[in-house]
Amino acid sequence: MLDVALLGTGGMMPLPNRFLTSLLCRINGSMLLTDCGEGTQITLKRLGWGFKNIDNIAITHFHADHISGLPGLLLAIGNAGREDVLNMYGPPGLSRVVNSLRVIVPELPFEIRFTEWSEDNDTSRFLTPDTELKCLPLKHWMPCFAYSLTLHRRGRFDIERAKRDNIPMAVWSALQKQDEAEYEGIRYTSDMVLGPMRKGLTVGYCTDTRPVPDLPDFVREADLFICEGLYGDASKQEKAASHMHMTFGEAAKIAKAANVNELWLTHFSPALPDPYNYIQEASNIFPNTVIGKDRMTKTLVFPD
C-alpha cells in the first residue's frame, strides 16, 4: 500500500488558497517528500501526517518555488523529535544549496546525507529493500529531474515448494521479507520459496520541463502520474515553450503515450485561478485526468 498526498499545486508563487507544488508519499510509515516550496510545512501540518517520519527528500531543481520552504521544514522535522539520518536527493550542487539555506537553521538534531544525481544517465536508489526511487533529466533552465517511486512486490510464497525442498519453517517468515536468512549454519535465499516478482506500485512526478523523448518510457504504466500543467489554454503553447514549461494538453499526451492509469495535473500558473475551466484540454486526450488540488490524497493498493 502506498499513500500519496499532493501538498500544493501552485507554480511560481503561492496564492492564498494554493500552496507551491510539493508531493508526499508514505509507505509503511516512512515518507518521501518531493520538492519543498515556500509554505510546505503549513500545508503538511494541515494534512496531519506528521513530520518526524520524513526519511527522504527529493528536489527536482533549485528554483525558489521548489526549495525555499526547506529551512523551515527541516526545523519542523527537528522539533518533531527526529534524530535519525535524513537522506536528500537532487541535482548537482544539492549540498551547496541546502547548506547555504541552512545558515538560518544551523543546528539540527539529525544528519543530512546528500545524493547528487548525474545528468549523464538514469540513476536510481533503493530507499528500502522494496522501495526504489529513480530519476530522469528534464529540459528546463537549470538541471531538473523527474522522479519515479516504485514499491516492488515480491513473489508469492510457495508453501508446497518450501516443504518439498525441506526449507525450515523457522526461516519462512524471514524469506518473505528479505533476500536471505540463516538457520543452524545454513544460508537460505528467498528465491527458494518465492515465485516471480509481481506487479508493484509506481508514482511518477514531473514538473518544470518541456516534453522530453524519454519521459513516456520513464513513467510507463505508472499507477499515478503527476505532471505540471502551468498553462491550461492550448493557445499558450508558444508561451509554454519559451518558458520551458508544459500545457495541459502536452502533459496529457505524455500520459497517453506512457499508458499510465491516472494523470494528476499540478504546478498551475498564478494567472490560472481556476484550472477546472481547462480540464477538457487534457481529458479529450487522456480521459482519466484529474485537476490537482492542495492536500488531495489517494491510497494505491496492490492488484490481486
Residue 148 β-bridge partners? 134, 204
- Among candidate residues 55, 65, 223, 294, the one labeled active-site is 65
Give residues with Cβ within 8 angstroms of 139, minimum separation 6. 209, 210, 212, 244
Length of the chain (residues): 304
Quote the cell numbers at residue 250.
502536452
Quote the cell numbers at residue 37.
516550496
Task: Determine whether 122 is an active site residue.
Answer: no
For the chain, what is the HEC assignment?
CEEEEEEECECCCCECCECECEEEEEECCEEEEECCCCCHHHHHHHHCCCCCCEEEEECCCCCHHHHCCHHHHHHHHHHCCCCCCEEEEECCCHHHHHHHHHHHCCCCCCCEEEEECCCCCCEEEEEECCEEEEEEECECCCCCEEEEEEEEECCCECHHHHHHCCCCHHHHHHHHHCCEEEECCEEEEHHHCECCCEEEEEEEEECCCECCCCHHHHCCCCCEEEEECCECCHHHHHHHHHCCCCEHHHHHHHHHHHCCCCEEEECECCCCCCHHHHHHHHHCCCCCEEECCCCEEEEECCCC
- Cα–Cα distance measured from residue 207 to residue 254, given in angstroms and rounded to the nearest whole number: 13
| Count of C-beta atoms within a 10 Å radius of residue 174 | 15
Task: List residues with catalytic annotation.
Answer: 65
